[in-house]
């Protein structure tokens, strides 16, 4: 990718405290004809105090990922040999969740934007979307913006992958 002065691409996961093991724990879920779940973690039975039903699946997977403190690979085996695969990551622990700001205004004036979930005293950059571009087959994006648009706003240009979450920052930081 080449936009102005390209810097190293930034990824959200560089700031994440979550450690991902080389091999993810495997959670296999088998659903019988009555909707009762049998769960294996790395081929070992997951024991619960009561039979788990299909409605309990999300809560059980979240609990497993939280208990292991690791993302887990999940394979759900339905009747008829249909298999669904997903990755479940541990949730934010209550003591790690950002505290709501009681002074945060609930009514915004015209032209004002707001968001929450930032760290205390975090530097928050603002980027206004002026164009969209489809990435090439090799995953790169190149966009030629009007010079008049960039002349009035010297500095950083941010590209954000709306599906992947990939962020590329280019330009000066001044």
101-147, pLDDT tens digit by residue? 555 445 566 667 676 666 777 777 777 777 777 888 888 887 777 77
Structural domain contains residue 45: yes
Copy the structure tokens of residue 111. 């032209």
Rounded mean pLDDT, 67-75? 91
Rounded CA gap, 50 and 36, in Å?
Answer: 11
Structural domain contains residue 9: no
Copy the structure tokens of residue 171. 């330009």
Structural domain contains residue 60: yes
Residue with the larger pLDDT of the pair 41 and 156: 41
Range of the domain at 52: 26-88
The answer to whether the CB of 4 falls within 8 A of the CB of 171 is: yes
- The count of domains in the chain is 1
Structural domain contains residue 32: yes
Structural domain contains residue 72: yes
The pLDDT of residue 4 is above 70: no
Structural domain contains residue 76: yes
Structural domain contains residue 154: no
Copy the structure tokens of residue 103. 């002074």
Copy the structure tokens of residue 122. 């975090």
Q: Considering the entire predicted model, what is its pTM?
A: 0.46
Q: How many CA atoms lie within 13 A of 15 on its CB side?
A: 7
Rounded CA gap, 12 and 164, in Å?
Answer: 10
DSSP state of 151: H
Rounded mean pLDDT, 67-88? 90
The pLDDT of residue 94 is above 50: no
């Amino acid at each position: 990718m080449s936009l102005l002065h390209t810097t190293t691409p930034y990824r959200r996961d560089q700031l994440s405290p979550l450690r991902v093991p080389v091999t993810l724990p495997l959670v296999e879920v088998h659903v019988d004809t009555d909707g009762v779940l049998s769960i294996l973690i790395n081929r070992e039975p997951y024991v619960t105090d009561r039979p788990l039903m299909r409605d309990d699946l999300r809560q059980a997977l979240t609990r497993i990922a939280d208990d292991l403190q690791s993302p887990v690979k999940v394979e759900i085996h339905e009747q008829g040999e249909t298999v669904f695969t997903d990755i479940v990551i541990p949730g934010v622990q209550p003591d790690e969740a950002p505290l709501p700001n009681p002074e945060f205004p609930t009514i915004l004036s015209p032209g004002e934007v707001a968001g929450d979930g930032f760290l205390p005293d975090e530097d928050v950059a603002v980027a206004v979307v002026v164009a969209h571009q489809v990435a090439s087959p090799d995953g790169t994006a190149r966009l030629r913006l009007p010079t008049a648009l960039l002349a009035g706003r010297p500095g950083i240009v941010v590209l954000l992958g709306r599906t992947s979450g990939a962020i590329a920052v280019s330009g000066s930081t001044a």
